[in-house]
Amino acid sequence: MSNGRAVGVELGIEDHSLISSPVFHPPSFSPCRRKGLADHPTTALNAMTTAKPVATRPSVPTPSALTLILTNLKDSLVYLTVLPLFFLVYSTPTFATFYALLVQTFSRQTIFLQITFLLTFASYWIHCLLLSLPDLHHLPQWITKRKIQPAKTPSLEWYAKAAKSVLFNQIVVSAAWGAVFYKLAGWRGMQCDAPLPSVAIMVRDFLVFVVVEEIGFYYGHRLLHHSAIYKYVHKMHHEFTAPVAIAAIYCHPVEHILSNLLPLFAGPLLMRSHLVTFWLWSVIAQFNAVNSHCGYRIPFLPSPLQHDYHHQVFNANFGVLGWLDRMHGTQGGFDAWECEYREREKRAVEGRKD
């Protein structure tokens, strides 16, 4: 693999070594084919990318806690619908019988390692392949209209480049980490046998997972942005300023362990959770990672605007949910930018040009 500088030059990206500056703006380059505004299916949204985000915009008031909660609930309507349906199926005797058969058929090691790998691997690529349709084929139109940075369209070559790194991280890095996790799970007493945990236990564990991941990802992510580390590790992930779904784990192996795997596994190890709880958690967390890099604000799914903004300005929005960003004041000018974006998106979807 070439170093970060060489890749940046290859893809036409300027050096991001100025990242530590609080007023740094990203270059208007990306590893995407640049298309004329007239021939792009989301022309009405192109105005969103003409003005670069700024670090601070004090004229826009900070949203209240209630506003943030209501917005997040609306954006998470799919989760609020799908998860209760899953728990209904999970609570049936049929699911318990199926899982008991799984435990009887395979060894503990196979269940912990191979089945966990297949579950996460398949869920990641199914999601990415679905999101490749608007990226590479501009279908369906109701999604392409909601492209956050419509002037930057990823090419098939970029997908191929990202896929190589993603597959390496999944097959080599994650597999090696899986062996470590298996030992740690045995030490912590994580179980994969019947009986299955109750829904109440799973929800309790999930609440802890969310907090642990936010803490681990936020501080790990900020560490990767330190000037002494960034160009050697995290710069690879920031080779593009417009996020693409497949590149959710397009990153240096060190970053994949520090920023992706450790925060994900820490909660289940801490809580000694059942493996089924971890499976559900890993699929949801992975879905969120892909969604936050998808480049589209799809209705009723968690908004990717926060992380998309991070890829544009580099020095804001380091967390998953934004709690620690608000506590530490590292959200930059995101509130103002999001407000402006939503207004422009509304006009674009309605077909208005004003």
Q: How many helices (H) and strands (E) does the chain have?
A: 16, 2
CA distances from 268 to 174, 181, 277, 284, 287 (A): 16, 11, 8, 14, 17
Is the residue at 130 inside a domain?
A: yes
Burial class (CB in 10 A: 0-12, 13-18, 19+), 55: middle
Report how far residue 148's alpha carbon sits from residue 277's, in angstroms, rounded to the nearest whole number: 33
Q: Which two tokens stand for residue 256?
A: 């994949």
- Count CA within 13 A, CB hemisphere, residue 142: 2
Q: Does residue 339 belong to any structural domain of this protein?
A: yes
Peptide bond into 195 cis (omega under 30): yes
Mean pLDDT of 90-96: 96
Does residue 312 surpass a pLDDT of 60? yes
Across 8-12, 43-47, 139-143, 261-265, the highest mean pLDDT is recorded for 261-265
* Confidence grade of residue 153 (pLDDT, cut at 50, 70, 90): confident
**For residue 347, what pLDDT band results from cuts at 50, 70 and 90?**
confident
Boundaries of domain holding 239:
78-135+143-350
* Residue 313 forms part of a structural domain: yes
Domain membership of residue 6 (yes or no) is: no
- Has residue 313 got a pLDDT over 90? yes
Are 53 and 337 contacting, i.e. CB atoms less than 8 angstroms apart? yes
**Is the residue at 30 inside a domain?**
no
Does a structural domain hold residue 258? yes
- The yes-or-no verdict on residue 29 having pLDDT over 70 is no
C-beta separation of 234 from 314 below 8 A: no
- State percent of the chain over pLDDT 90: 66
pLDDT at 61: 60
Cα 144 to Cα 40, 131, 219, 324: the distances in Å are 10, 10, 33, 31
Structure tokens at 352: 């208005």
3-class secondary structure, 32: strand
The structure tokens 């920031």 sit at 238
Work out the pLDDT band at 68, boundaries 50, 70, 90: low
Residue predicted with more confidence, 353 or 108: 108
Mean pLDDT throughout 141-155? 90
Q: Is the peptide bond before 31 cis (omega within 30 degrees of 0)?
A: no
Inside any domain, residue 61: no
**103-280-129 Cα angle (round to 5):** 110
* Average pLDDT over the chain, rounded to an integer: 83
pLDDT, residue 352, reads 60
Higher pLDDT, 24 or 209: 209
8, part of any domain? no
Contacts by 156-163 with C-beta closer than 8 Å and gap 24+? 158/31, 158/32, 158/240, 158/244, 159/132, 159/135, 159/244, 159/246, 161/31, 162/244, 162/246, 162/247, 162/250, 163/246
Q: How confident is the model at residue 235 (pLDDT cuts 50, 70, 90)?
A: very high
Mean pLDDT of 241-248: 93
pLDDT in tens, 212-234: 999 999 999 999 999 999 999 99
Domain count within the chain: 1
